[in-house]
Amino acid sequence: MNAKQVLPPDCSAARFARALDDFASVLGEGAVLSAPSDLAAYRDPYSPLPNEDPGAFAPSAVLLPASVAQVQDALRVASAARLALWPVSIGRNLGYGGAAPRQRGTLVLDLRRMNRILEVNPALAYALVEPGVSYFDLHAHLRREGIALWIDPPAVGWGSVIGNTLERGFGVTPYGDHAAMQCGMEVVLASGEIVRTGMGALSGGTAWQLHRDGYGPGIDGLFMQSNLGIVTKMGIWLMPAPETVLLCQASFARESDLETVVDTLRPLRLAEVVHGPAVIESAVRWAAGVSARSDWYDGAGPMPATALQAMIRKLDIGWWNLRFGLYGPAALVQARWRIARKAFGAIPGARLRAWPYDAAGVASAPPDSAGALGLLGVPGLSAMRMLAWCGGDGAHLDISPLCPATGADAMRQYLLVRDRAAAHGFDYYGGFTAAPRCLHHIFAAIFDRADPQQRSQARALAHRLAGELGAAGYGLYRAHLDLMDRVAAQQDFNGHAMLRLVERVKDALDPTGMLAPGKQGIWPRGRRPRAQGGGDN
Amino acid sequence: MNAKQVLPPDCSAARFARALDDFASVLGEGAVLSAPSDLAAYRDPYSPLPNEDPGAFAPSAVLLPASVAQVQDALRVASAARLALWPVSIGRNLGYGGAAPRQRGTLVLDLRRMNRILEVNPALAYALVEPGVSYFDLHAHLRREGIALWIDPPAVGWGSVIGNTLERGFGVTPYGDHAAMQCGMEVVLASGEIVRTGMGALSGGTAWQLHRDGYGPGIDGLFMQSNLGIVTKMGIWLMPAPETVLLCQASFARESDLETVVDTLRPLRLAEVVHGPAVIESAVRWAAGVSARSDWYDGAGPMPATALQAMIRKLDIGWWNLRFGLYGPAALVQARWRIARKAFGAIPGARLRAWPYDAAGVASAPPDSAGALGLLGVPGLSAMRMLAWCGGDGAHLDISPLCPATGADAMRQYLLVRDRAAAHGFDYYGGFTAAPRCLHHIFAAIFDRADPQQRSQARALAHRLAGELGAAGYGLYRAHLDLMDRVAAQQDFNGHAMLRLVERVKDALDPTGMLAPGKQGIWPRGRRPRAQGGGDN
């Protein structure tokens, strides 16, 4: 045993060692990792925590089951040893804690070895995948097999299709709302029971991947951002390869244009003229894809407006930059673009461009390709360039409030985030991804993780923003491990009634709290931070 | 007390009388109905049950709360009296049992008096409504206030927006998948606790009606086709009034064309060329909107092919008849129609027509208006004309299998349903409503409820179809009271694992089984028909 070993809560080194032996006996020796060098990859890669507390989210071990049966085996051993597991599909939930568990010492159940693409149906346009299948994997499979279906990749392509979908991640094609494109799950409960949801509940059923929910209550939502079960298979709808694509881009000159841009975009999204999530990016977010901060400014603290303006001129971009794709038969795409071009062109100072692609040309990309690959259904890693923005050992911590799709709300959130970020020394690296009625406002504090002062400021900023945004009625759709309890506590309607309901479901499905304690603020009985107004009745 | 009085299960007349007094004391005298004449409207209006068992689904009383507080009051009294409640929004779930409870003697909790339209947001295109708001009500409100938003009405407009949505009903505009357009609920649990779902869990939150689900597990699905809570408010997305509409219609000459029509439609739906649920109707369903069966045939048993052909010729319709709407800017609508017209026009014998509407003309309708009003967002009652098809005291019993969106599956289901219907003496009154990947195949057995023989045949047919469709892998999306247990039993994967999961949630949220016992086959502990493989752990 190593002096630096992390143990599960309330577990002696001896009991833990016996449990690891038991796990190895059912999973195989190579499928149980406990050496500190092996566990390093399962810590929060961008932890904002202070040096004296680097292991707050450290796992005690990692289990790598290769099958549903081994997931059941792992649950059986964990139950007997009274140990909790933190399931991850691949663990690329970067910016929110990576593969690290909320509670120090929880064992990570890493499902990456379950990486089969079980079915792709070209006619009905869906895939059935296991948790270890990444967006890269699925994209490569479709290309290799010559199947004319597109994936919708999130910003970074190495993540798990299931993992991203369960966290309600999104992309930028018309299939960008990943949770809405999920259809049918297989879930292993804490008891080890295997459940198939929706029409998968019918043995030999023909609609498991075709019809969301089924007969009776719909339970799929229960397993999103959740610790109520382990999703081992998931159906995902795929977009038939469009006949043509037009990548559309508009830049807007003034900081205050955000309001008009949002109010112009909303009716176009509602009328399906712009039929995928459009992205409105700040100048810094755009610039980080093609340059480093030191190219523009060398000082500490946020870039001053003069440096920002110089950067914007030199890069020939806007203060705000809009991107979206149009997809389908050429006549439809052209009709959509004429309408959108006219609408955005009416904003003073707007500049618009568009790049057409036919089915054969989709593998290439326009000159500024940072955000374009995703619009073409191609997974990439270029979003990781953000880490080099500030130099040093780059890391980011994301704050993701939901924003009503009105210009007034977007401006209010932007100014609040911009000013608080500046107060803590950060540039506004952010953007809005637009569903018809609601925007995902994503801000990233980019910091040097080797610098304790920057880490501390990033953490302070995140907590401050979560608090101030929540108080203004703007909830976060997702949160870093360090913020999970705080955001859960904001769900305060009627004495946290929704959380208490979920806790009752938790107690019913996982009475001993084996699965992912603390995930999204849901703790097992006995570990709950809030007073239980109304009790468990 | 009346000799014909229906009592709740395990309840004496004296205890029931005391409970009714208690209900009256909290709800008011007029809000408690128990006279047989008042209860008649709460029986299954189209019951297929034999004469000797007319009251199998009869309620013992009806409660009419006027507010959420009165719903809580009713739950308190019911709990003290150990009585179960069957919540309905308005109770227009016709064809599946109406307002009648699954278990004889359950008290109906009719929410029709809670009929406020709490909010309509024209810019963000949603409404927040109470259960008593019908599609007629919401449509009239929007017209009266001059709000340029459309509802998506189901086939019959007098139903509740919430009720239809909770049963996963659908319409035919691009907002036709009602469950998918639901955003944010308020639910009263059996305990009386009020929960707001999604971003409504955040007091003062701004995204309750803007973002489906929220932070942590999504629970809205739990309250669909469910007895886990009473939905007292619901957000519903509305379509901005389109600039133009084109009503499109195609008729196909041969019975076997169904296969080609479905295979032609699927890629158009997947590519969003046809961007709403398209409906493929049998000749009889079309004819029932404009004529009576006796106009074409007077014999018993199903109409023979010669009579069908004569009817088709005379009405100038197809064996199969396709309808869909195209919505939006004229350029987009025209581009869509050119593509769709070319695709369907390639089917030999196809005849295509289209009627354009601008924003001002939407109140009118084309000559054969039976199905057109729904495509124009206008609620109607013309679908009720089906009841006059056979003469007598018309009733219908619906069977609604989900069908993969392939021609082969559609033909297989059609032939199975057609032949079994014929064997029991019924015409094939049916159609397919097409989502991109899955069709709702709706068949209605139309019968004379005054005729015991026809009732008996309708019931036998429904059970036979449910059984044979389920065995072929075609699950029903919804079921009549009389079929609820049978369809639930078909969810047999891994020893009915999904149903056992839902039952565990039921026990956690409603341990005494107060809410809607037997709804969709979910019974309280102690009344469950199936062996509990795996127990409750």
- Give A521's contacts in chain B (Cβ within 8 Å): 216
Tell me if residue B478 is catalytic: yes
Instruction: Answer whether B505 sits within 8 Å of A501, measured CB to CB.
Output: no
DSSP states of A205-268 as a string? -S-TTTSSS-SS---GGGGSS-SS-EEEEEEEE-EEPPSEEEEEEEEE--TTHHHHHHHHHHHH
* Cα R_g (chain B), whole angstroms: 23
In Å, how far from its chain's centre is CA B34? 27
pLDDT digits (tens, 9 = 90+) for B223-245: 999 999 999 999 999 999 999 99
Task: For residues A146-156, give the mean pLDDT.
Answer: 95
- For position A533, what pLDDT does the model report? 42
Looking at B42, B96, B414, B474, which residue is catalytic?
B96
* Helix and strand numbers, DSSP H then E, in chain B: 14, 19
Could you give phi then psi for residue A255, rounded to 5 degrees? Answer: -55, -40
Q: What is the pLDDT of residue B496?
A: 97
Closest chain A residue to B205 measured between Cα atoms? Answer: A473
Token pair in block for residue A80: 């007997």
pLDDT, tens digit (0-9, with 9 covering 90-100), for A241-287: 999 999 999 999 999 999 999 999 999 999 999 999 999 999 999 99
**Is there a contact between A473 and B206 if contact means CB atoms under 8 Å apart?**
yes
Pairing of strands A117-121, A244-252: unpaired
Q: What is the chain B residue with the closest CA to A478?
A: B215
For residue A372, what pLDDT is reported? Answer: 82
Judged by CB atoms closer than 8 Å, whether chains meet at B216 and A207 is answered as: no
For A16, the token pair is 């833990």
- The Cα B245–Cα A90 span in angstroms is 47
Q: Where are the beta strands (DSSP E) in A312-392?
A: 320-328, 351-358
Question: In a 3-state reduction of DSSP, which class is residue A107?
Answer: strand
Cα–Cα nearest to B249, from B184, B173, B318, B348: B318
Nearest CB neighbour to A491, from listed B215, B334, B534: B215
Give the SS3 label for residue B87.
strand
pLDDT number for residue A4? 73
Considering only CA atoms, which of B524, B168, B237 is closest in space to residue A199? B168
The model's confidence at residue A362, banded by pLDDT at 50, 70 and 90, is low
Q: Give the residue from A181, A478, A498, A528 with the most B CB atoms within 10 Å of its CB, the best one to mutate.
A: A498
Contact B356, B258 (CB under 8 A): no
Residue B534: which pLDDT band, with cuts at 50, 70 and 90? very low
Give the Cα separation of B398 and B97 in Å (integer).
10
Distances (CA, A) of A24 to A29, A37, A189, B171, B494: 5, 18, 21, 54, 27
Q: A181 CB contacts (<8 Å, ≥6 apart)?
A: A152, A165, A175, A236, A237
pLDDT, tens digit (0-9, with 9 covering 90-100), for B505-523: 999 999 999 999 999 999 9
Report whether pLDDT(A532) > 80.
no
Q: Which of A102, A323, A455, A478 is catalytic?
A: A478
Q: Helix, strand, or coil here: A529?
A: coil
Put simply, the answer to whether A179 touches B213 (Cβ < 8 Å) is yes
- Inspect the interface and report whether the beta carbons of B275 and A270 lie closer than 8 Å: no
Residue A130, SS3 per DSSP? coil
Mutation target to probe the B interface, by most B beta carbons within 10 A, among A270, A338, A501, A528 is A501
Q: Find the mean pLDDT for residues A357-366.
A: 61
3-state class (DSSP) for residue A464: helix
CA quadruple A81, A84, A88, A90: dihedral sign: negative
Cα angle B158-B162-B168, degrees, rounded to a multiple of 5: 95
What would the pLDDT profile of B1-54 be if each residue is shown by its tens digit?
444 789 999 999 999 999 999 999 999 999 999 999 999 999 999 999 987 666
Per-residue pLDDT, B526: 86
In 3D, which of A155, A188, A153 has the Cα closest to residue A78?
A188
Q: Which residue has the tokens 């507080």?
A: B69
- Mean predicted confidence (pLDDT) in A208-219: 96
Contact B240 A270 (CB under 8 A): yes
Question: Average of pLDDT values for A328-355?
Answer: 96
Question: A199 and B404: CB-CB below 8 Å?
Answer: no
Report strand pairing: A351-358 vs B32-33.
unpaired
Say how many residues make up chain A. 537
Mean pLDDT across A452-460: 96
**In degrees rounded to 5, what are phi and psi of residue B470?**
-60, -45
Q: Which DSSP symbol is given to B476?
A: B
**C-alpha span between A53 and B525 (Å, rounded):** 48
Tell me the per-residue pLDDT of B108-117, one tens digit each, with 9 for 90 and over. 999 999 999 9
Residues B382, B386, B388, B391, Cα dihedral to 10°: 180
Which of A477, A486, A525, A530 is the catalytic position? Answer: A477
The average confidence (pLDDT) of chain A is 94
Question: How close A438 gets to chain B, by Cα (Å)?
Answer: 6
CA B482/CA B463 separation, integer angstroms: 9
Q: In what order do the strands lie in the sheet with A32-33?
A: A32-33, A62-63, A107-110, A85-88
Q: Which of A225, A244, A263, A437 to mutate to test the interface with B (most CBs of B within 10 A)?
A: A437
Phi/psi of residue B130, nearest 5 degrees: -95, 170
With 60 as the cut, is the pLDDT of residue B363 above it?
Answer: no
Query: What pLDDT score does A158 carry?
Result: 93
Query: What is the DSSP secondary-structure string of A390-451?
Result: T-SSEEEEEE-BEEESSHHHHHHHHHHHHHHHHHTT----EEEEE-SSEEEEEEEEEEETT-
Q: Which of A51-65, A322-336, A343-357, B250-264 has the lowest mean pLDDT?
A: A51-65
Contacts of B469 in chain A (CB under 8 A): none
Residue predicted with more confidence, A178 or B537: A178
Whether A216 sits inside 8 A of B202 (CB atoms) is no
Percent of chain A surpassing pLDDT 90? 88
CA B351 to CA B322: how far, in whole Å? Answer: 10
pLDDT at A369 over 60: no
Of A179, A488, A505, the CB nearest to B508: A505
Helix H or strand E segment including B233: strand B230-237
pLDDT of residue B94: 87
Q: What is the CA radius of gyration of chain A?
A: 23
Say what the pLDDT of residue B3 is.
Answer: 46
> Which of B269, B478, B500, B528 is labelled catalytic?
B478
Q: What is the pLDDT of residue B2?
A: 46
Q: Nearest by CB to A199, which of B402, B436, B508?
A: B402
**What residues of chain A lie within 8 A of the CB of B182, using their CB?**
none
3-class DSSP assignment, residue B407: helix
Burial tier of B29 (Cβ tally within 10 Å: 0-12, 13-18, 19+): exposed
B477 is catalytic: yes
Of A200-209, A467-476, A528-537, B423-432, which gets the smallest average pLDDT? A528-537
pLDDT of residue A366: 58
| Rounded-to-5 percentages of helix, strand, coil across chain A | 35, 20, 45
Q: Which of A187, A209, A215 to mutate to test the interface with B (most CBs of B within 10 A)?
A: A215
Question: Is residue B220 within 8 Å of residue B182, measured between CB atoms?
Answer: yes
Instruction: Please report which residue ranges of B384-447 form alpha helices under DSSP H.
Output: 407-423
Is the four-CA dihedral B505, B509, B514, B515 of positive or negative sign?
A: negative
Q: Do B404 and A206 touch (CB under 8 A)?
A: yes
Does residue A5 surpass a pLDDT of 70? yes
**pLDDT tens-digit series, residues B382-429:** 888 888 898 889 999 999 999 999 999 999 999 999 999 999 999 999
pLDDT of residue A101: 97
CB contact set of A373 (below 8 Å; sequence gap of 6+): A153, A365, A379, A380, A382
pLDDT average, residue stretch B84-96: 94
Q: Which of B189, B175, B202, B476 is nearest to B325 (CA)?
A: B175
Evaluate if residue B369 carries a pLDDT over 70.
no
- Residue A175: active-site member: no
In whole angstroms, give the CA distance from residue A218 to residue B361: 39
For range B112-131, the mean pLDDT = 98
Distance from CA of B504 to the nearest CA of A (A): 6
8 Å CB contact between B59 and B42: yes
**In degrees rounded to 5, what are phi and psi of residue B206?**
-105, 0
Q: Alpha-carbon distance A356 to A535, whole Å? A: 59
Separation of alpha carbons A263 and A257, rounded Å: 10
Whether B533 has a pLDDT exceeding 50, the answer reads no
Q: Give percent of chain B above pLDDT 90.
A: 88
Which 8-state DSSP code applies to residue B221? G
Nearest chain A alpha carbon to B166: A217
CA dist list (Å): A487 to A398, A462, A490: 13, 11, 5
> Tokens standing for A282?
């700040």
